[in-house]
Amino acid sequence: MIELQDVTHDYGGGALFENVTASLDPGSFHFLTGPSGAGKSTFLKLCYGELRPSRGSVAVGGSDLRAMSRDELAAMRGTIGVVHQDCQFLDHLDVRANVGLPLHATARPVADRDIEDLLSWVGLNAQADALPPTLSGGERQRAALARAVITAPRLLLADEPTGNLDWDMSQRLLSLMIELNRMGTTILIATHDMNLIRTAKSQVSSRVLRIAGRRLQSAGADL
């Protein structure tokens, strides 16, 4: 589902990581860990094409992002879900409209029922009419996850989706992602939260990637 070939990324102050090669199979469940500032968010941005690698190539679903036109990149983004670390809402639209945005923006039918169901799953029924800036950090993350999965994406990239959540709510979102994975969605979650990773490992077969020291390593079972 995601292929990185010899990817090097450099924001201008020296390479953040070098010659990273990785392959995430369709239907797989991956975690991405590493110290703060190691480049987890950068890695995800490379995957959905917000950033272009300084060297090497990134392919999603078999298509090289470099070869895509802007419309093709947009079409690709329409088929994947992304939870951004900073959520990226339209602050003038209410939570309900933000959650439905990936459907509105790509002229796909919007079932109000699906949005309501999803909002109640992430516990945001009461905030459906609220504007994003009025939400707490945890509420924002829940809304961001709801928006990422509203399209039933084939790939979900989640950047610290549980960073601001209490343990119960983290578990709840994790089980939503595990459920999606069972239905075929490829999942990649960037997180620091080792408890979350351990809990997930007990429920779903998953692998852990670790960025550190400009390398991407496959972490062993020694978590």
Ligand X SMILES: Nc1ncnc2c1ncn2[C@@H]1O[C@H](COP(=O)(O)OP(=O)(O)OP(=O)(O)O)[C@@H](O)[C@H]1O
H-helix or E-strand spanning residue 170: helix 167-182
- Rounded to a whole number of angstroms, the minimum distance from the CB of residue 31 to ligand X is 13
Residue 85 or 199: which CB sits closer to Mg ion?
85
66 binds another protein (CB under 8 A): no
Give me the 68-107 binding string for ligand X, x by CB under 6 A, dash otherwise: -----------------x----------------------
Please tell me whether residue 10 adopts helix, strand or coil conformation: strand
Taking a C-beta distance cutoff of 8 angstroms, is the pair 8, 54 a contact?
yes
- Rounded to a whole number of angstroms, the minimum distance from the CB of residue 32 to ligand X is 9
70 binds another protein (CB under 8 A): yes
Q: How many Cα atoms sit within 13 Å of 219 on the Cβ side?
A: 19
- Find the binder of ligand X among 1, 16, 165, 197 (CB under 6 A): 16
Residue 67 or 221: which CB sits closer to another protein?
67
Give the pair of three-digit tokens for residue 52.
């272009």
Q: Is the dihedral of CA 141, 147, 153, 155 positive or negative?
A: negative
- Rounded to a whole number of angstroms, the minimum distance from the CB of residue 66 to another protein is 12
41 binds ligand X (CB under 6 A): yes
88 binds another protein (CB under 8 A): yes
42 binds ligand X (CB under 6 A): yes
Taking a C-beta distance cutoff of 8 angstroms, is the pair 61, 154 a contact?
yes
Taking a C-beta distance cutoff of 8 angstroms, is the pair 119, 142 a contact?
no
- Angle, alpha carbons 4-215-55 (nearest 5°): 45
Partner from ligand X, Mg ion, another protein, none binding residue 105, C-beta < 5-8 Å depending on class: another protein
Give the pair of three-digit tokens for residue 221.
């079972």
- Find the binder of ligand X among 22, 38, 46, 97 (CB under 6 A): 38
Partner from ligand X, Mg ion, another protein, none binding residue 37, C-beta < 5-8 Å depending on class: ligand X
Pick out residues in 7-66 that bind Mg ion (CB under 5 A).
40-41
Q: How many Cα atoms sit within 13 Å of 96 on the Cβ side?
A: 15
**What long-range pairs does 59-62 form, CB within 8 A, spacing at least 24?**
59/2, 59/3, 59/5, 60/1, 60/2, 60/155, 61/1, 61/154, 61/155, 62/3
Q: Which residues bind another protein (CB under 8 A)?
A: 48, 50, 70-71, 74-79, 82, 84, 88-90, 92-93, 97, 100-107, 109-110, 147
Q: Which residues bind Mg ion (CB under 5 A)?
A: 40-41, 85
